Structure 1
């Protein structure tokens, strides 16, 4: 028997997106009065791991460990498609990195090494696990029967829009709007790559790496921004081309199967 996720893929996808936003609102409304000493970064960290628990719980409920390619071997020939994404990881390295100031509790002072551990384990790892399991895992697979291009565009759009949690946690709206411009084409490219890798783990590792380096970017000069936008456009165009190609192949296969069903061989 199919689950509701498979019977109503679009409705469930949009519902999960709304639920993520609602969870962000609920977390701030509950955590701020209960723990007034927490900074916005502290609330964000708690919310980050609530998303992790939700994503893992959803996969466990569906029993989709294999379907979302957590147990499959990596298609090494497809790793070439990760090149533009790998370049994004190294942009902060090229333009300069530094340990940012991150405070979870008001007035807290911590050594630089502890801040790095917090960013890598607390922030980047949590985001890599939850977002890849959800967007390139469950939602991409459940929408795939509607067409890979449709699945890639919808999951990427949702991926960008749900980052509105940045505003909910006190971030500026301008940053969210800019992030949407970058996240949606990048998400389309990641969807196309996810279908080819045959394993979700390379994307989890990439997501972890890109978040770690981005959060350690010392500054974002014009050269950095131009390179980031260019790589994002390349990944988006590549993703649309690959996903359209996949859909064309699927339509041809369906048409071929239909012909085989209608035209039966003559029995002598």
Structure 2
């Protein structure tokens, strides 16, 4: 049976993004009443792993573990395209790393080792699993039969917009709006590379690593922001270039097939 994801991939993509935003609003509202001593960081941690569970349920319901390339070997020739993305992981280390103070319960600050566990396991691992399963997994492969361009650009845009959840959880709109916009070209690069890698795992590992180092950066400056923006825009350029290469390759194949058909017809 063809699922709703396959029948209406665009509608499902838009609906899922809206659903994630609504889930964030409801989770904050419910937990603030049910467990008032939770901080917004604590609420975000619960929400993060709720989405992880939901993404795993979605993939299991669809039976798409193979389709989203979780069982496929990595195309090693395509790994080179990840090098600029690896730089994004290393940039925070150039400016120093430190464990920030984290409080899950009001009035209680976690010891450094526990804060590190929360960042590595609670935040980075959870986001890497759920966001790659959803955006470079289910949505990318659902939209791919329509168009590779659509399959990359639409999930990338929704990937950026879904981060409005950070504002819902108490972060500054002025701080997160530029980041949401920058996530879009980053998502385009990731989506285009996902089509070449033929495996989702390298992106899960990258996503995990970049969230860890990004959360541990000790100090930020204008230089840090400019370097990060530069690499993100480079990732977007790489994505556009790869999509253009794909389009040109398909055009060449179509032209060659048309030529062969004409030659066969002429021989007859």
- Give the structure-1-normalised TM-score: 0.95
Q: How does 1:129-148 map to 2 (within 5 A)?
A: 129-148=129-148
Q: Secondary structure at the match of 1:145?
A: coil
Q: How does 1:180-199 map to 2 (within 5 A)?
A: 180-199=180-199
Q: How does 1:100-249 map to 2 (within 5 A)?
A: 100-249=100-249
Q: Secondary structure at the match of 1:66?
A: coil
Q: Secondary structure at the match of 1:146?
A: coil
Number of positions where the alignment pairs a residue of Structure 1 with one of Structure 2: 268
Change (3 A) 1:257 1:24: farther
- Contact kept, 8 Å, 2:128 with 2:204, in 1: the verdict is yes
Change (3 A) 1:258 1:144: farther
Range moving further from structure 2, 91-100 or 103-112: 103-112
- In structure 2, the partner of 1:49 is 49
- Contact kept, 8 Å, 2:149 with 2:243, in 1: the verdict is yes
Q: How does 1:7-18 map to 2 (within 5 A)?
A: 7-18=7-18
- Contact kept, 8 Å, 1:72 with 1:199, in 2: the verdict is yes
Distance 1:26 1:71 in 2: 34
RMSD of equivalent CA atoms: 1.8
- Contact kept, 8 Å, 1:148 with 1:244, in 2: the verdict is no
- Contact kept, 8 Å, 1:147 with 1:247, in 2: the verdict is no
Change (3 A) 1:82 1:126: same
Distance 1:119 1:63 in 2: 30
Q: Give the CA deviation at 1:121.
A: 0.4
1:77-132 Cα deviation digits (max 9, x unpaired):
11110011100001110011111011111111322111101110011000000000
Distance 1:122 1:83 in 2: 26
Range moving further from structure 2, 219-228 or 143-152: 143-152
Gaps of 5+ in 2: none
Q: Give the CA deviation at 1:248.
A: 3.0
1:25-46 Cα deviation digits (max 9, x unpaired):
1101111100000000000001
- Contact kept, 8 Å, 2:136 with 2:194, in 1: the verdict is yes
- Contact kept, 8 Å, 1:99 with 1:116, in 2: the verdict is yes
1:71 is aligned to 2:71: yes
Distance 2:260 2:138 in 1: 32
